[in-house]
């Protein structure tokens, strides 16, 4: 058969397009092998490291980060510390090969501009390979915690008629005059430092984004409905200060790396803490946390980890807190958690009675996540579903069958007997997969599952 030039050109274009797609598929497969994927539906195993930011900018760094795996350090005699506390142990992988194993900062991770501490570790000898000059860094003194409750103490010394000046540089209050430029404030505001302190917003470090007023109300209501008497906030200072202010009858405790909070709160309610390594910077802090557990009949742990958190160490920390609570003679069934995470790492937490609320978590001043329609952050909890009450929030409806609030666009699938959409509107039921799938997914016979067109995962 003789083909026209036009036909040949079209066939060539099709072939090129196919080759391009095949190349993309290979990249995708390689990324899968390295436990990194932007599409968690394809995750065969849990991945070891995730990021919450869309990977458009800084894509090299983020892709790189996908190759890091956090290793347990329980059986090691010593874990080195940088000036930000104990380090995490990482494997850097290139495909299945481990390129290097090293300790690095648990706060700033692989962001050398904030902390370039790195010590090679030999897995065979279980020894740290210290190079010249590193020893000094390793022994770097931990910064001292200072001035718990300094601001409330200073307030008690002031006369009721004094004008209270808050100085953001000194992080302290002064009656009537002070040498720095500062503003008069209401005394009440001083119980809410997240409204006064500028957020620490180092990318991949503290990533301090405070909840919007609406999210604060939703979580506060959940705390009230749960009727727990102890609330442990890990990296959730705005929740802590709100519950503390409006429910003085409840036990509250804040663990956060940001030590500026020490000046606003007493040591029996706040401790500087590194959440991925379960480290207290003040040796008196853990006994105080134990007192909090002792005094609480039931506990709700609320954590909003920084964007890009490593999940294994975080979940380990939550388990550790549960053990501490149980060690005071209480049943772990009275220990609840609420973890604030982006949707695509949901598989990590969706087990043991954990469920994901459709509520769209928003943050003050975050360029994307201040908008309910753009945020991908959700609440994951093992609290009863009635605790997340969205009656007064626009954009949600109550599903009787699921017994929870869902987004207006969510549709109850009779076959799954659940409101299955997680994002992007209604999901469609695939009979072959026997579950609901994302709207743009099509069933692929080769892979025996649904996926985006051209995204085959089979060889």
Ligand X SMILES: C[S@@+](CC[C@H](N)C(=O)[O-])C[C@H]1O[C@@H](n2cnc3c(N)ncnc32)[C@H](O)[C@@H]1O
Could you say which of 210, 281, 310, 359 contacts ligand X (CB under 6 A)?
210
Interaction between residue 71 and Zn ion (CB under 5 A):
no
Instruction: Pick what 419 binds: Zn ion, ligand X, none; C-beta below 5 to 8 Å, kind-dependent.
Output: Zn ion
Residues 74-93 as x/- pattern, contact with Zn ion by CB under 5 A: --------x-x---------
The correct pick among 81, 274, 337, 381 for binding ligand X (CB under 6 A) is 274
- 171 binds Zn ion per the rule CB under 5 A: no
Residue among 105, 164, 222, 239 that touches ligand X (CB under 6 A): 239
The 3-class SS string of 324-347 reads HHHCCCCCHHHEEEEEEEEHHHHH
| Contacting ligand X within 105-134 (CB under 6 A) | 106-107
Under rule CB under 6 A, residue 211 binds ligand X: yes
The site that binds ligand X (CB under 6 A) totals a number of residues, namely 22
Rounded to a whole number of angstroms, the minimum distance from the CB of residue 459 to Zn ion is: 11
Give CA–CA dist 185/189, Å, rounded. 7
Q: How far apart are CA 87 and CA 277, in angstroms?
A: 7
Of 195 and 458, the one with the shorter C-beta distance to ligand X is 195
Cβ proximity to ligand X, 250 vs 443, nearer residue: 250
Classify 272 in phi/psi space as left (phi over 0), alpha (psi -120 to 50) or beta.
beta
Q: Is 238 an interacting residue with respect to ligand X (CB under 6 A)?
A: yes
Interaction between residue 263 and ligand X (CB under 6 A): no
Residue 429 makes contact with Zn ion by CB under 5 A: yes
Under 8 Å between Cβ of 91 and 65: no
Q: Which residue blocks in 148-236 are alpha helix, DSSP H? A: 150-156, 213-226
Q: Taking CB under 6 A as the rule, does residue 164 contact ligand X?
A: no
Burial 142-165 (b: 16+ CB within 10 A, else e): eeebeebbbbbebbeeeeeeeebb
235 binds ligand X (CB under 6 A): yes
Q: What residues between 293 and 332 interact with ligand X by CB under 6 A? A: 304, 306
Residue 103 is classified by DSSP as E
Binding partner selected for residue 115 from ligand X, Zn ion, none, CB under the kind-specific 5 to 8 Å limit: Zn ion
Q: Which is nearer to Zn ion, 48 or 449 (CB)?
A: 449
Q: Are 377 and 369 in contact (CB under 8 A)?
A: yes
3-state secondary structure of 393: coil
d(CA 207, CA 201): 5
Q: Does 208 participate in binding ligand X (rule CB under 6 A)?
A: yes
d(CA 277, CA 448): 40
CB contact at 8 A, 261 and 271: no
Footprint of ligand X on this chain (CB under 6 A)?
A: 106-107, 206-211, 235-239, 256-258, 273-276, 304, 306
């Amino acid at each position: 058969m003789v083909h026209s030039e036009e036909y040949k050109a079209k066939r060539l274009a099709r072939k090129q397009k196919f080759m391009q797609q095949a190349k993309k598929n290979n990249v995708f497969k390689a990324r899968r092998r390295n436990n990194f994927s932007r599409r968690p539906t394809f995750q065969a195993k849990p991945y070891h490291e995730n990021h919450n930011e869309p990977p458009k900018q800084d894509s090299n760094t983020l892709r790189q980060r996908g190759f890091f795996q956090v290793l347990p350090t329980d059986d090691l005699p010593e874990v080195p510390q940088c000036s930000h506390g104990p380090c995490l142990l990482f494997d850097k992988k290139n495909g299945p090969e481990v390129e290097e194993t090293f300790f690095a900062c648990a706060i700033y991770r692989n962001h050398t501009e904030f902390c370039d501490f790195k010590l090679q570790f030999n897995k065979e000898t279980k020894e740290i390979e210290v190079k010249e000059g590193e020893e000094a860094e390793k022994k770097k003194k931990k910064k001292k915690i200072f001035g718990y409750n300094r601001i409330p103490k200073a307030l008690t010394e002031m006369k009721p008629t004094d004008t209270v000046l808050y100085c953001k540089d000194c992080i302290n209050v002064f009656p009537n005059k002070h040498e720095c430029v500062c503003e008069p404030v209401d005394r009440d505001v001083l119980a809410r430092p997240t409204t006064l302190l500028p957020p620490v917003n180092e990318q991949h470090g503290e990533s301090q984004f405070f909840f919007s007023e609406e999210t604060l109300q939703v979580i506060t209501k959940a705390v009230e409905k749960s009727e727990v008497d102890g609330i442990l906030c890990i990296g959730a200072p705005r929740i802590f200060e709100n519950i503390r202010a409006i429910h003085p009858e409840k036990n509250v405790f804040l663990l956060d790396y940001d030590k500026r909070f020490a000046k606003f709160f007493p040591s029996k309610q706040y401790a500087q803490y590194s959440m991925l390594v379960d480290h207290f910077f003040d040796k008196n802090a853990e006994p105080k946390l134990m007192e909090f557990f002792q005094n609480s009949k039931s506990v709700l742990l609320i954590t909003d980890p920084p964007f890009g958190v490593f999940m294994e160490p975080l979940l380990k920390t939550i388990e550790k807190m549960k053990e501490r609570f149980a060690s005071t003679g209480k049943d772990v069934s009275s220990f609840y958690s609420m973890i604030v995470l982006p949707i695509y790492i949901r598989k990590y937490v969706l087990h043991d009675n954990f469920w994901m609320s459709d509520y769209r978590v928003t943050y003050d001043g975050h360029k994307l996540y201040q908008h309910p329609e753009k945020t991908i952050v959700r609440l994951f909890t093992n609290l009863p579903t009635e605790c997340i009450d969205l009656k007064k929030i626009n954009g949600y409806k109550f599903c009787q069958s699921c017994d929870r609030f869902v987004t207006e666009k969510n549709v109850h699938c009779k076959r799954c007997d659940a409101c299955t959409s997680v994002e992007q509107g209604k999901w469609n039921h695939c009979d072959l997969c026997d579950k609901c799938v994302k709207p743009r997914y099509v069933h692929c016979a080769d892979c025996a599952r649904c996926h985006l067109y051209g995204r085959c995962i089979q060889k």
